[in-house]
Structure 1
């Protein structure tokens, strides 16, 4: 059995792995290069809040997929695309949530390297995951998906 469904967006790298990998690389390089930690009494608690909000957004996105009878894994076949819940405001709430969790952890760690890893993860997810998904969804759902893209932003 193939790991990637033939009739899917053909995403090869799981988005959580991309985001987590970027975070670990950023935190590790920050320590390796002896970058200074951010000196802020508010950043650590803000990081916990940002991370919790991100986790809630991920959960809401997954719930939207499950309710629609769709599979949240981007390497699986799409049976529907979701336009309700948080999908009214962003086409990619799960990825937005992942990046917010990443940002929250970087803030809680007071890490410049971690913070610098956030736009890198966003770029990689955008180019290697979202671009493939959107091509596939346009081909699968046609004008309905194109109209949705005109109404709703990719990230926020």
Structure 2
């Protein structure tokens, strides 16, 4: 049911970031002090957004869908660029974005949302997308899947 509410991964990312803010506002907080936390979070944020944009561009360049809600509409199996290193670079980008948000929040407890994102992203998006891609591209996807890891 919740997967339908969070049809798009960006909705889950926004919810997690809002929850982190909420935890800080209501005092569910355990201060963490990291040296260079602003620099580290800026690098993670920039890297995450860059990965999302580059991976999204690869879909647009291949003239196939970038919509995770309709992976069966994919017309091309993108296996080059970032997709030659990871089967799910956009989710890695989202994870880095959330990691940056966690570090900048300064709240150790918010780190709980990182494994939660991985769990939900796998269950709600990655596994259904891979099942749909296997159905659409059959042997091509299985060959790609055997050569390239997911990394999330």
Q: Same fold (TM over 0.5)?
A: yes
RMSD after superposition? 1.9
How far apart in 2 are the matches of 1:138 and 1:126? 16
Summarize deviations over 1:34-89 as a string: whole Å, max 9, x none.
Answer: 31221223222201111100000001100110111112111232111210000011
Aligned to 1:63: 57
Aligned to 2:12: 18
Question: Please, which runs of 5 or more residues in structure 2 have no aligned partner?
Answer: none
- In the TM superposition, 1:20-59 aligns within 5 A as 20-59=14-53
> Is the 8 Å Cα contact of residues 44 and 110 (structure 1) preserved in structure 2?
no
Aligned to 1:106: 102
Q: How many residues align?
A: 147
Please report the TM-score for the alignment, with normalisation by the length of structure 2. 0.88
Q: Does 1:118 align with 2:133?
A: no
How far apart in 1 are the matches of 2:20 and 2:114? 9
How far apart in 2 are the matches of 1:36 and 1:62? 36
Aligned to 1:86: 82
> Is the 8 Å Cα contact of residues 44 and 108 (structure 1) preserved in structure 2?
yes
Please report the TM-score for the alignment, with normalisation by the length of structure 1. 0.86
Question: 4+ residue runs of structure 1 moved beyond 6 angstroms?
Answer: none
Range that drifts further, 22-31 or 125-134: 22-31
Shift of 1:19: 1.9
> Is the 8 Å Cα contact of residues 55 and 83 (structure 2) preserved in structure 1?
yes
How far apart in 2 are the matches of 1:56 and 1:114? 23
> Is the 8 Å Cα contact of residues 70 and 78 (structure 1) preserved in structure 2?
yes
